């Protein structure tokens, strides 16, 4: 049977574009890709990239304050949100164009429209065309989840935050995960009054000692944090959005950001009709090869609800392309995936938290907490926390957690050693780079506790 394409990819985000490019450029497949919004997906258009640029913008007041402490005559003026947003939009246009060129350069045909699955070998485009493909890859990512409540229509999500007309004076952020905590810090840094409500403790699931420090520092900077609170309803008034919580309290804000998780983007995609098994939350169920129960249909990235991170989606997409179109079958590796939470202080983490590790085996805990040189000189109150969770039996470093400026950069390097199976003794055998913050990772002599 002949098909229009060897591969049809639905979704032009991190996983989809990587799979399409590798299948076409490296393995000679005839590939098409459909994207209904903008090429680059959540990460590039309304996620990691614009978020990180906002993190940089929000860190400038602190830099100016430090500059003064270091002897510079420096004044902080007002923040020009419109000017920043215009520049941000231009940068995203530039990046989107690079993604688009990457596809055309690889010979991938791009359809700028929505596509749905019509059958195990057919895709229906929004303009009515039906095209056939030997393989279909679902890479449609996730979408923000907002629970149901009265007044839900008044809130925004991370999809809208980069498009705000003006910075709110007072914002309520609901949620306590990556997005809620990152935006609380960003907006506070840009001058917005931030209140954060979550139903449970913030950053649940991460190492408790680290999240306690992050939450303490967020609160010390003036972010009003309330846990154990849920929104009951939101009413619009002349004064703003009046938000009432489950405990009866009411507060008025100019904007409300919901960051209560993301759900796989499969609604209306035609997957169930084509026989593809979906999880109760809509995630596409796949095996270790990213293959669904329908042999011609695969899925990678957030839509599969494995690890919702861009570098993981990229690896899944690449492994899929090599497996199905190349001569090198391989699976994406989901072990020891490091990540960073771009709060202030920043958090880099890899492997098991102390709480998770001690459930599995006896461990030693090494901790170094100190004031970083740069901030201490400037009279700042920053604190760095470095933590290693070490197996008593194998001596392997099972977890590394860093709360520090540039913790994301540090954890990337520590993750290499962990991936190689490094033991605590091998960390210790590595000579320190002095004076740095990261040198503490190789100079922690005695465990602070056994767990
Ligand atoms: P998270 O899953 O990280 O956090 C969701 C938060 O919302 C939790 O605090 C959760 O509370 C709360 N919540 C969930 N459901 C409800 C509900 N019905 N009512 C009230 N509160 C609720 O999601 P995010 O939206 O922050 O981020 C989504 C994903 O995107 C992340 O998991 C991550 O994989 C990725 N991401 C990664 C980033 C990075 O690498 N730096 C940055 C941003 C996103 P509870 O703890 O009780 O469940």
Per-residue pLDDT reduced to its tens digit, 82-110: 999 999 999 999 999 999 999 999 999 99
Q: Residue 77, annotated ligand binder?
A: no
pLDDT at 48: 98
Protein residue with least CA distance to atom 41, ligand 1: 341
How far away, in angstroms, is 260 Cα from ligand 1 center? 5
Catalytic positions, written as ranges: 434
How far away, in angstroms, is 258 Cα from ligand 1 center? 10
| pLDDT tier at 155, thresholds 50, 70, 90 | very high
pLDDT tens digits, residue range 214-265? 999 999 999 999 999 999 999 999 999 999 999 999 999 999 999 999 999 9
**Mean pLDDT of the chain, nearest integer:** 97
Q: Which domains does the chain have, with CATH numbers?
A: 5-144+263-325 (3.50.50.60), 152-260 (3.50.50.60), 339-450 (3.30.390.30)
261 lines ligand 1 (CB under 6 A): yes
pTM over cut 0.95:
yes
For the chain, what is the HEC assignment? CCCCEEEEEECCCHHHHHHHHHHHHHCCCCEEEECCCCCCHHHHHHCHHHHHHHHHHHHHHHHHHHHHHCCCCCCCCCCCHHHHHHHHHHHHHHHHHHHHHHHHHCCCEEECCCEEEEECCEEEECCCCEEEEEEEEECCCEEECCCCCECHHHCECHHHHCCCCCCCCEEEEECCCHHHHHHHHHHHHCCCEEEEEECCCCCCCCCHHHHHHHHHHHHHCCCEEEECCCEEEEEEECCEEEEEECCCCEEEECEEEECCCEEECCCCCCCCCCCCCECCCCCECCCCCCECCCCCEEECHHHHCCCCCHHHHHHHHHHHHHHHHCCCCCCCCCCCCCEEECCCCCEEEEECCHHHHHHHCCEEEEEEEECCHHHHHCCCCCCEEEEEEEECCCCEEEEEEEECCCHHHHHHHHHHHHHCCCEHHHHHHCCCCCCCCHHHHHCCCCCCEEC
Q: Is a pLDDT exceeding 90 seen at residue 347? A: yes
Q: Is a pLDDT exceeding 90 seen at residue 327? A: no
Give the Cβ contact number of residue 247 at 10 Å. Answer: 10
pLDDT at 267: 97
pLDDT tens digits, residue range 139-151? 999 999 999 999 9
Which residue, chain included where needed, has tokens 């989809």? 16
Contact 234, 244 (CB under 8 A): yes
Point out the ligand 1 atom lying closest to the alpha carbon of residue 309.
34
How far away, in angstroms, is 176 Cα from ligand 1 center? 6
């Amino acid at each position: 049977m002949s098909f229009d394409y060897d591969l049809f990819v639905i979704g032009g985000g991190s996983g989809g574009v990587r799979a399409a490019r590798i299948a076409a450029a490296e393995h000679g497949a005839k590939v098409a890709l459909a994207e209904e919004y903008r090429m680059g997906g959540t990460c590039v258009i309304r996620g990691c990239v614009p978020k990180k640029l906002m993190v940089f913008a929000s860190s400038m007041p602190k830099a100016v304050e430090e500059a003064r402490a270091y002897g510079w005559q420096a004044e902080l003026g007002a923040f020009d949100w419109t000017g920043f947003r215009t520049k941000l939009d231009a940068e995203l246009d530039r990046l989107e164009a690079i993604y688009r060129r990457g596809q055309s350069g690889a010979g991938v045909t791009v359809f700028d429209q929505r596509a749905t699955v019509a059958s195990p070998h057919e895709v229906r485009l929004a303009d009515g065309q039906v095209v056939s493909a030997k393989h279909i890859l679902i890479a449609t990512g996730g979408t923000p989840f907002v629970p149901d409540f009265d007044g839900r229509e008044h809130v925004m999500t991370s999809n809208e935050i980069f498009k705000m007309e003006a910075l709110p004076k007072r914002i309520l952020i609901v949620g306590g995960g990556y997005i809620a905590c990152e935006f609380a810090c960003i907006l506070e840094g840009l001058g917005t009054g931030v209140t954060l409500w979550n139903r449970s403790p913030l950053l649940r699931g991460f190492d408790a000692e680290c999240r306690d420090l992050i939450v303490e520092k967020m609160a010390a900077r003036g972010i009003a944090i309330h846990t154990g609170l849920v929104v009951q309803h939101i009413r619009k008034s002349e004064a703003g959005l009046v938000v009432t919580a489950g405990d009866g309290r009411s507060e008025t804000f100019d904007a409300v950001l919901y960051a209560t998780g993301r759900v796989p983007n499969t609604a209306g995609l035609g997957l169930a009709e084509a026989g593809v098994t979906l999880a109760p939350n809509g995630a596409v169920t796949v095996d270790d090869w990213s293959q669904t129960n329908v042999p011609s249909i695969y899925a990678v990235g957030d839509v599969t609800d494995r690890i919702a991170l861009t570098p993981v989606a990229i690896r899944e997409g690449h492994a899929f392309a090599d497996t199905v179109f190349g001569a090198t079958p391989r699976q994406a590796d989901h072990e020891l995936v490091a990540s960073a939470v771009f709060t202030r202080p920043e958090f880099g983490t890899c492997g098991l938290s102390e709480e998770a590790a001690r459930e599995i085996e006896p461990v030693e805990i090494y901790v170094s907490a100190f004031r970083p040189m740069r901030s201490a000189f400037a009279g700042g109150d920053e604190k760095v926390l470095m933590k290693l969770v070490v197996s008593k039996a194998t001596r392997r470093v099972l977890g590394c957690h860093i709360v520090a400026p540039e913790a994301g950069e540090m954890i990337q390097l520590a993750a290499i050693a962990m991936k190689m199976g490094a033991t605590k003794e091998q960390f210790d055998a590595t000579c320190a780079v002095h004076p740095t913050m990261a040198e503490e990772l190789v100079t922690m002599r005695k465990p602070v506790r056994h767990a």
